[in-house]
A and B are shown apart, each in its own frame.
Chain A
Amino acid sequence: MPATIRIQAEPFDLAAESEKLLDGRADIGALASFTGYVRDEDGRLSALELEHYPGMAEDEIGRVAAKAESRWELLGLTAIHRYGKLAPGDPIVLVIAAASHRRAAFEAAEYMMDYLKTRAPFWKKEHLKDGTTGGWVEAKDADDSALLRWKE
């Protein structure tokens, strides 16, 4: 089953996406999902604007998904990433991995997120409640070092 990759402005529905993966099959024993939300740590954020590279975002997430599918025996994989202006508490990203057993599902979902954060061409800009721009969110070294776990 090919991975479902979508880049969209609209919100997504975890239950509906899970149903699509499970639909009509009984061989899936485990479904692991991750949802990332816009976080406002100190009450200053009015919106987070996500810019992306439209031609490449889908391709790159597809390449990460293909690696996950070659690494674990998956029975389904969905990745949805939103773009545009999002409010605190809004969902940004969804990954769902389906497998026979939990370990593959958990690990594949985490692998997808670790690689998606550092390789998918998206950039976050903060907009603050006082009307000013808080600037571009800086990449974290911790996100790069998270990848070390997946290197042999």
Chain B
Amino acid sequence: MKLLYFAWLRERVGKPEENVDLPADVATVADLIAWLKGRGEEFEYAFEAPELIRVAVDRVHVEHDTAITGAREIAMFPPMTGG
């Protein structure tokens, strides 16, 4: 599965994207964030406040309780500040 990071989340994680193989028990966006937090200091820091993180599955905004089964691309980012 392809993961994308934007803005300060990208800076904290230290890379814009990566491909990962998720454990079978990672079923929702919240599970994914919890799993990512355990991947090292930079992830612990990037995801220290999960409630701030916005998520898009296959380029559509979703909530943290959304299932991610079958997703190709999951993007994570801070609240948007365009316009």
Contacts and interface: CB of A to CB of B under 8 A. Distances in A.
Interface string A63-79: 00000000000000000
Contacts of B56: 53, 56, 121
Interface residues of A, number: 27
Given A51-B6, A53-B4, A123 B59 contact: no
- The A interface, classified by DSSP as helix, strand, loop or mixed, is mixed
B82 interface: yes
Contacts of A59: 59-60
Interface string A110-139: 000100111111111100000000001111
Nearest to A59: B59
Interface residues of B, number: 17
16 contacts: A50-B82, A51-B6, A53-B6, A81-B83, A93-B83, A116-B83, A120-B83, A121-B82, A123-B7, A123-B81, A123-B82, A124-B81, A124-B82, A136-B81, A137-B81, A138-B81
Interface of A: 36, 50-53, 55-56, 59-60, 81, 92-93, 113, 116-125, 136-139
Nearest to A137: B81
Nearest to A61: B82
B6 A121 contact: yes
Contacts of B80: 117-123, 139
A56 B59 contact: yes
Interface of B: 4, 6-8, 56, 59-61, 73, 75, 77-83
A55 B74 CA distance: 12
Which of B7, B73, B80 has the most CB atoms of chain A within a 10 A radius of its CB? Answer: B80
A16 B82 CA distance: 23
B66 to A, nearest CB: 16
